[in-house]
Amino acid sequence: MGKNSGLTRRSLLARAGAGVCALTLAGCQKLSESAWFSKVLGVGENASYRTQRLFLSRKAMAQEFTEADRSPAFRSNGTSMPNNPEYISLADNGFTYYRLKVGGLVERPMSFSLADIRVLPHRTQTTRHDCVEGWSAIGKWKGARLSALLEEVRPKPTVRYVVFHCADPMEEDGSSPYYESIDMEDAFHPQTILAYELNDEPLPIANGAPLRLRLERQLGYKMAKYVMRIELVEDFSGIAGGKGGYWEDQGYEWYAGI
Ligand SMILES: Nc1nc2c(c(=O)[nH]1)N[C@H]1C(S)=C(S)[C@@H](COP(=O)(O)O)O[C@H]1N2
Ligand SMILES: [Mo]
């Protein structure tokens, strides 16, 4: 998508936010964590309160679907082919020479081939992807658990965020690569995976080959495609526009909960 679609996207985001309760949810969460909230509710927590708590918890699982629920086609959005010579050459060689670099605040910086990624503990999940532009699609994803990969590199105690650096430049001149970030709570969520398969096939380039993030409790723009490098940081204010992601730098919410 072009830069000038930003305004439209932003107004759509506002609408989607109202619909999916993205902002309200963040608000509710703070509310539920405050001491007075439980006092107001009293000791006799009723069933609906417990359901709410479950719903509001960051640890809750996103809904999973059956294979029959899958969308006939999983559309591509944003970049569908990175305009990056290095990426194109990797793709031309079937990603044989692709290496995912993982560094930053870690005890053991590492580089993973796709074969290395495939032997990590994995997870398969059929989930619904919601984009702020107003479309959804259900797909079956298989990928390495991000938690397993992070355990390999041993994050230092000061780490707060995981940053995903992508292959696709967002400007015509090859600058402004797409990037995203999540916190450690989301990084260790069981449904947070680095997907290498979509609907039982190798991940297509249009959907982020060879590796893309799946973060099922947040909106589509958080799910970085074409992940080349993962950086563990304490603070992302020094990266690009400083807001933790390409679209966040244009004004989107950093926490895009659904
Ligand atoms: N690297 C990269 N990741 C990206 C994007 C992108 O343009 N580049 N678009 C985001 C948006 S807005 C959405 S909705 C999803 C789209 O994923 P899909 O192409 O598999 O449908 O990827 C997200 N991740
Ligand atoms: Mo999106």
pLDDT in tens, 147-160: 999 999 999 999 99
230: Cβ–Cβ under 8 A, 6 or more apart, which residues? 100, 101, 102, 103, 104, 149, 162, 163, 164, 165
Pick the CATH number of 3-249 from 3.30.565.10, 3.40.640.10, 2.40.50.140, 3.90.420.10: 3.90.420.10
Q: Range with the lowest mean pLDDT among 24-28, 143-147, 194-198, 214-218?
A: 24-28
In the structure, what pLDDT confidence band is assigned to residue 44 with cuts at 50, 70 and 90? very low
Average pLDDT over residues 107-130: 98
Q: Quick check: 110 pLDDT over 80? A: yes
Three-class secondary structure of residue 86 per DSSP: helix
CB 180 less than 6 A from any atom of ligand 1:
no
Residue whose Cα lies nearest atom 14 of ligand 1: it is: 220
Domains of the chain, by residue range, sit at 3-249
**Nearest ligand for residue 203 CA:** 1
In this prediction, residue 251 carries a pLDDT of 98
**Burial letters 34-43, b for 16+ CB under 10 A, else e:** eeeeeeeeee
Which range of 11-25, 41-55, 183-197 scores highest in mean pLDDT? It is 183-197
User: Which whole number is the average pLDDT over 75-94?
Assistant: 98
The two three-digit tokens of residue 41, written as one number: 């509710």
- Rounded to the nearest angstrom, the distance between the alpha carbon of 209 and the centre of ligand 1 is 11
Ligand 1 centroid distance, CA of 37 (Å): 37
Tell me the average pLDDT across 10-18: 44
Query: Looking at residues 29-55, what average pLDDT do you find?
Result: 44
* 220 Cβ below 6 A of ligand 1: yes
| Contact between 143 and 123 (Cβ < 8 Å) | yes
**pLDDT score of 126 more than 90:** yes
Asked if the model's pLDDT at residue 25 lies above 70, the reply is: no
pLDDT at 132: 96
Least confident of 36-45, 50-59, 102-111, 215-224: 36-45
What is the tens place of the pLDDT at every residue in 58-79? 889 999 999 999 999 999 999 9
Quick check: CB of 213 below 6 Å from ligand 1? Answer: no
Please give the share of the chain, as a percent, with pLDDT higher than 70: 78
Q: Is the pTM of this model over 0.95?
A: no
Residue 49 pLDDT grade (very low, low, confident, very high; cuts 50, 70, 90): low
The two structure tokens encoding residue 144: 């390495």
pLDDT for res 174: 97
Alpha carbon distance 166, 150 (integer Å): 18
